[in-house]
Amino acid sequence: MHLNLKPRSRLRKKPNKKMRPQRLGATISLVLFLILLPVLSVAGMELLERGSLHDTMSWITSNQSLFLLNAGITFCLLIFIYALVGSLAISGAISTLLLGLMALISYMKVTMIGEPFFPWDILLNKESMDIASLVTGKAALIRIGAIIVSIIVVLALRWIIPRTTISIISRVGLGLFSLYALYAFGIKTPLAGKILDHIGVNEIVWNQQENYANNGTALAFTLNVKNSIVQKPETYSDVAIGAVAANIESVSQAQTQPAMKKASVDTLQGKKPNVIFIMSEAFWDPTLLSNVTFSEDPLPTIHRLQKESTSGYLLSPQFGGGTSNVEFEVLTGNSMSFLPGGSIPYQQYVSKPVPSLASYFAGQGYKSMGIHSYEGWFWDRNSVYKQLGFESFKSSEHFVNPETKGYFISDAEVSRNIIDEVDKTEDPMFIYTVTMQNHGPYDDPRYGENQFKAEGNLTPQAKTILETYTQGAHDADQSLQMLIDHYQNSDEPTMIVFYGDHLPMLGLDYQVYKEAGFISTSNANAWSLDEVKKMHSIPLVTWSNFDMPKQDIPLLSDSFLGAHVLDMLHMEKPANFTLNAELAAQVPGLLSNLVVDQDQTLHAEAPESAKTLIDDYRNVQYDLLFGKQYLAGYIDHDYLTKASQPSYNAEFDQPDSKLRAEGDSGSPPEAKPVSAQ
């Protein structure tokens, strides 16, 4: 056998000159695709979120540098995906999908609660799906359709654009370059900072809706990455915290009132009172709408308590959503004002034991329990409540055959569970309750025929929304009355603190508030300070079956409520709550965009006289959440460093419900599943 082997070099073909134009055309197509797709993606994102072609084009023409910077960020995303996937059309489709979803979610969030889509929202998991299920309507469906069509068009280019391939080394290089560029703008490296300053980027962290509107969705989202990490205050140090601790000790000594404490104990015959906080979902007083009247009073209990007991208004950091942020303020005494706009402390910052009212009352011999008539995973409460020092957390999974009303477990069922838990517990109880019945949306008359008819200059849709909400608010009012009726005749001293978490979202774009004349415009950025105050003020009422002096509370931030309640009970306040009370005396209302002083004067920023104390408050908050726990080295060490309870939720985690029943510690966890509809 004879093999004629020729060198491979002799078999090589000479370069075909006809192939050169094809390669040139492919290269041009590649470059055009990589340039045009990011440009069109940015334009599409802004159109999806702004909802107006005129507004979108106006922003592009007025902010060409910002527009190109947004395109540059989406270009880096496209290149990074291309480096991973290797197919131009598929990479384009994936980037189009991601950017489209970002714009869609941001649009839905702004429409619902006035906040855009943040990087940390990615961690919401089930919460995001739950929120998405509450958004319906033509506008949302059109946007979803536009995204789907765009993805199909980009995929179709696979059969039009000449196929090009680059080496693995080149792909790795492109991927690393794009990843670094995204990282640089995300954490704002010095070079990225110079670019941003040169272009004139103005990051408005305290007003994220305006931040996104001015800078563009892609850029604003990227710039918020660094806000996931809270920056250390410039004044934070061991020495500064030591000075705060000394001030707290002097204030505590001056405020000690042994005579009042003794009188309180004598009145209760030595018993410690049960302390029950009830944060009623979206509870507000619809009769405050001045241009609307109702067929009858929907809140007779609330209105009676406002005349008879300590009552007033709380200043909530939220509107329409973000319930867990209000819990965070009330339970810890910390303020959302010092955290990035749109952040969720429960999911971002509470990963270790944090001192709270729950841990404080536990240290006073109380059983601290959280009760929520929704699923325990929501806002990570299952794990967060452990870190806050609760002994147990009764979520909807542990309600037995609960009564539902509308979409969720009824407020009346929650009241029955409160009574049941107190009755079967020998120790005094601190209970933090969060209800769910009157969660939005309200456009569907889910309670059937509404008892309360609204009259005013309202569209039929707004009227339906308001009447449905008001029916639910009435049920919350009556659930409070149920508790009062029970404890009125009880020999267990009990105090109830009842309030809402935020104003309800009554229609898209503040529809009911606008039609009722409660606000002048649906543009939150144009609200006056008085309108900001109104849209964040929540009714607060208290009740007790033992004598307590009546107090009027014109306005008090949620973060100061705990200190106020401890004062009402004549209980010695721990260090951080002592500081809260001192600040509240000067600045009772504190939001990122509104400060209310002791004379109820409204300010856009803190007055000079209060800035030093506010800095102390910020430093202590940073020390407790992120810092080196300097404060615990000076004062209240045991409270400030208290670990979570080792037996957390043991009573509800028993695999055998009979064991739990025999232990007389509650009902077996066989609750019916509850989901948002």
Residue owning tokens 């506008």: 139
Count Cβ atoms within 10 A of the Cβ of residue 388 and give its class: 0-12 exposed, 13-18 middle, 19 or more buried: buried
Q: Are the C-beta atoms of residues 495 and 276 closer than 8 Å to each other? A: yes
Encoded amino acid at 465, one letter: I
When the pLDDT of each residue in the chain is averaged and rounded to a whole number, the result is: 86
The per-residue pLDDT for range 47-79, each reduced to its tens digit, is 988 888 999 999 999 999 999 999 999 999 999
Lowest-pLDDT choice from 159-173, 285-299, 339-353:
159-173
Encoded tokens for 263: 């009188």
The larger pLDDT score, comparing residue 653 to residue 611, is at 611
Q: Which residues pair with 497 in a beta bridge?
A: 277, 542
Mean pLDDT of 375-404: 93
Encoded tokens for 451: 């008892």
Q: How many angstroms separate the CA atoms of 132 and 534, rounded? A: 27
Q: CA dist 651 to 339, 342, 668, Å?
A: 35, 35, 9
pLDDT at position 665: 35
Give the H/E segment covering residue 389: none
Lowest-pLDDT choice from 51-55, 559-563, 627-631:
51-55
The larger pLDDT score, comparing residue 596 to residue 260, is at 596
Beta carbons within 10 angstroms of residue 58's beta carbon? 12
Q: Which CATH class is domain 257-571?
A: alpha beta
- Under the banding of pLDDT at 50, 70 and 90, the label for residue 377 is confident
Count Cβ atoms within 10 A of the Cβ of residue 299 and give its class: 0-12 exposed, 13-18 middle, 19 or more buried: buried
Encoded amino acid at 553, one letter: I
pLDDT at position 449: 87
Sorted by sequence, the CB contacts under 8 Å of residue 123 that are 6+ apart come out as 344, 347, 348
Lowest-pLDDT choice from 10-19, 111-120, 416-425:
10-19
The sign one gets for the Cα dihedral 455, 460, 466, 472 is: positive
pLDDT at position 668: 33
Q: CA dist 519 to 107, 289, 315, 534, Å?
A: 22, 10, 17, 9
Q: Are the C-beta atoms of residues 216 and 67 closer than 8 Å to each other? A: yes
Spell out the alpha helix ranges (H) of 561-602.
561-568, 575-586
Q: How many angstroms separate the CA atoms of 671 and 329, rounded? A: 29
Task: Report the half-sphere exposure of 347 (CA within 13 A, side-chain side).
Answer: 22
Encoded amino acid at 175, one letter: G
Return the closest-CA partner of residue 177 out of 67, 83, 41. 83
Strands 454-456 and 292-294: antiparallel
pLDDT at position 186: 87
* Torsion angle, alpha carbons of 630, 634, 639, 645, to 10: 50
Sorted by sequence, the CB contacts under 8 Å of residue 511 that are 6+ apart come out as 459, 461, 462, 465, 522
Query: Which residue ranges make up each domain of the chain?
Result: 19-228, 257-571
Q: How many angstroms separate the CA atoms of 399 and 405, rounded? A: 15
The separation between the first and the last C-alpha atoms of the chain, rounded to the nearest angstrom, is 80
The per-residue pLDDT for range 138-184, each reduced to its tens digit, is 777 888 888 888 888 888 877 776 666 777 888 888 889 999 999 99
pTM (predicted TM-score) = 0.77
Over its C-alpha atoms, the chain yields an Rg (Å, rounded) of 29
* Torsion angle, alpha carbons of 83, 87, 91, 94, to 10: -130
The larger pLDDT score, comparing residue 170 to residue 279, is at 279
